[in-house]
Amino acid sequence: MELRNKTVLVTGSTDGVGRVVAERLGAAGARVLVHGRDQARGEAAVAAIKAKGGKAEFLIADLASLAGVRGLAEAVRARTDRLDILINNAGVGTGGQNAKRQVSADGYELRFAVNYLAGFLLTSELLPLLEASAPARIVNVASAGQQAIDFDDAMLTHGYSGVRAYCQSKLAQILFTVDLADQLKGTGVTVNALHPASYMNTTMVRQAGITPWNSVETGADAILNLAASPALEGRSGLYFDGQRESRADAQAYDEKARRRLRDLSLELTGHSSSTSREQHS
């Protein structure tokens, strides 16, 4: 995909791999909508892109709030009449060995809310814009750390661990990717997910007490491959480990599990099926 003059939203792009991706997109001539929670870091990221001749704007939003997600979607619609690429990158890490269960502004388990539900809602809100800009791409930044969703206790009120919460939320992203790809057939919009790289040198990894052993540049290469590689044109519903097509946890390919997640997500976000795409019977 030729990136010059394309409009791209990268969530969580004021730090870590998201910032590297945003800077590279800017350098390639894209108009970058930088997202984060911190105004100063956002302005610094925009300044870095502009210093190299790129185009960028900062949109502030807290994705731990569904109202914040809707506000971000509204801000995007107010700034642009097209969106060529959406990269759902923002996330919360495992929190380390002693992570305590936390909840979002809406009372949902925090990692599920930020890592998965925010991307589900943001994508749903921005689908009309993406379809109007087709061919367009959605990239969901997931992880090789995956754990099957327990639909009887999706909010992990029992047996909580930060690792389990993180892995469940990341697999949810992949179920959503496969499900959405099916719904988007014929629209010219593709959606793929990936594990960018293991234990990149990011704040998230360091906060978990892990010594990084991969660079954010390696992860950025993998994300940009899905965002712009001609080889991915028209291909959708895939999971990549780095730049290699791979297979996710078996639950991602279970149609019943994907339907249960879709129904749960619509219920939790209040994003009624009438405003979503045609639901599978």
pLDDT digits (tens, 9 = 90+) for 158-186: 999 999 999 999 999 999 999 999 999 99
Q: pTM score, two decimals?
A: 0.94
Is the pLDDT reported for residue 274 higher than 60?
no
Whole-angstrom distance, CA of residue 163 vs CA of residue 165? 5
Q: Can you tell me the distance from the alpha carbon of 133 to that of 110, in angstroms, rounded to the nearest whole number?
A: 32
pLDDT category of residue 277 using cuts at 50, 70 and 90 = very low
Domains of the chain, first to last: 7-269 (3.40.50.720)
Q: Which of 166, 199, 239, 253 is catalytic?
A: 166
Q: Band of the pLDDT at 213, cuts 50, 70, 90? A: low
Query: Letter for the amino acid at 86?
Result: L
Query: Cβ–Cβ contacts within 10 Å for residue 158, how many?
Result: 8
Tell whether omega for the bond before 128 is within 30 degrees of 0, i.e. cis: no
pLDDT in tens, 8-34: 999 999 999 999 999 999 999 999 999
Identify the residue with better confidence: 144 or 280.
144
Q: Which of 61-65, 77-81, 275-279 has the lowest mean pLDDT?
A: 275-279
1 confidence band (pLDDT: 50, 70, 90): confident
166 is catalytic: yes
The whole-number average pLDDT for the span 230-247 is 97
Strand partners, 103: 109
Residue 273 has pLDDT above 60, yes or no: no
Q: pLDDT-based confidence at 206, cuts 50/70/90?
A: low
The mean of the pLDDT values for the chain is 93
Q: What is the pLDDT of residue 216?
A: 84
Digit-coded pLDDT (tens) for 92-109: 988 877 899 999 999 999
- What distance in Å separates the CA atoms of residue 230 and residue 30, rounded to the nearest whole number? 16
pLDDT band at residue 271 under the 50/70/90 scheme: confident
For residue 255, which amino acid is it? E
Assign 278 a pLDDT band (cuts: 50, 70, 90): very low
CA-based nearest residue to 66, from 9, 14, 18, 107:
107
82: nearest Cα among 119, 30, 38:
30
